Structure 1
Amino acid sequence: MGNLFTKSTYEWIKQVDTSKADLFKQAEESMMKLQDQKTKEDFVQEQVKINETYSTLEHFVEEHRKELATLSPQHEQDVDILLQSLKLRKETLMRYELPNWNVAHNVPIYDVEQHPMVLRDRMMAENLEYLAEEMYPTEKMIVWGHNYHVRKNNSKVKYADYGQNFLNNMGDYLPDSFKKQTYTVGIYAYSGASLDSSDNKTVTPVNKEKDPTSLESLLKYANHSSLFVDLVHTPYNKRTSWIYTPRIALYWGFLKEEMILKEQYDGIIWIERITPAKII
């Protein structure tokens, strides 16, 4: 039954109301199957039903907040997280899923802001702001994500082979005042392979062909198995000019992208050889 969130939430709600736990399970399963709808009319009809179910669950959680809190390690805070998660389910359902279905069915998207990849990152930014300002306003946070999502100005990054800029990402949608409080780290590898996140089965090797002045090649000269490079406190000079000038780096180890590293990251983690993740 779905992922860890789905399983743990089902068991949590079940302790209070079995029927609502089953309703939650039904909503999660319907959400996973939504992209299988053959027509837009069928899609919208199912979308409305699922949204109503999540609204019912939101109302249930609010009504049974105290009971649910007593059954969870962090009590009230866990209930707040659950409510935010249900809200995100509804926002994903109503803002992201149809554009994603349109792309899968070759329906043209004329407004780039309505592209599912852009919508996804905008929603990431909104959720991160909520977590930082509303849920954890006095605490430091670690946010783990792919380079594409966390770097600060993705729209300035280019596909090296085509000269075309990337779409806006989470970093683009975060206000400058927020980004100034962050320390953003990019992770890159020289060799090895990673697991393709689209199916968690396909092993994708790191491209063996390297531009001699690329990020991966330059850090290879240091002759270490791994490196951390701080970009914030590295002043410009002849030896550090590579940080301040356009540089090739590999997206997911295979796609050449061009960027000024200083505009995107505060630090870089470089690993000489990576191995595919093992799904537990």
Structure 2
Amino acid sequence: MELANWVPAGSDTGLPSAARLYDYLLGGGHNFAADRALAEELLVVEPNARAIARHNRSFLRRAVLYMIDQGVQQFLDLGSGIPTVGNVHEVARRAAPETRVVYVDFEDIAVAHSRRILAADPLAAIVQEDLTEPTAVLDAASRTGLLDLAEPVGLLAVSVLHFVSSTADAAGALGVYRDAVASGSHLALSHATADLQPVEMAGIVEVMKRSANPVFPRSHAEVHGFFLGFDVVDPGVVPVPRWRPERAADDDPASAGLFAGVGHKG
């Protein structure tokens, strides 16, 4: 796997990336020795890291299915990362086979692998852009022919905005996406926070400083603020396993590490 043909020439596989750490925590195989080593350090400071990753992936699935139930037939997945099992197009197609998906990421390896697995899929594509440049993202996504801004869009910002520093104005970028999409669109978002486990999150922040993607956790109020212009649906912005669980959660929601929510544009 270290020399797999999905790795672009010249890629720095010695610098861990958040996407590949996430893939490793979920049990995927698209990661390298440096990613695995840093992930093991992450598990020392946050022993629940694998459970948090699974909770986040489960939230993505529930949010996508909820949006499909609300009539959404196309998705824009911002910061999609390595396409591990349970991707948006896999989840969506089981419920609505004609669903269109445009993935967005700027990391070379994530983009290269996405292009490889999506090559034969006419209803899904990846564009290499920075989510904090929404005009460029929307232009590139529209050029794929899979995103129609006149129809409701499912915007996904799942476990990605905590890699955007405060100086990059994530809220401003989301505002551009919000204004561009049609009424009936939705935003699903999950975000790291120190509100639930401050000690563990401080450890995660320190570990991730040695990766390509430092973490910037935000408070509940700050995460809720990302939904400006959207009507947040029940149960609101909550610990990630508490967003419309399919069964009663047995674990302590304080150990979730992430807040999550879904908003609707009226």
TM-score, normalized by length of structure 1? Answer: 0.29
Higher helix share: 1
Which of structures 1 and 2 has the larger relative contact order (alpha carbons within 8 angstroms, sep 6+)?
Answer: 2
Q: Which is greater in Rg? A: 1
TM-score, normalized by length of structure 2? Answer: 0.30
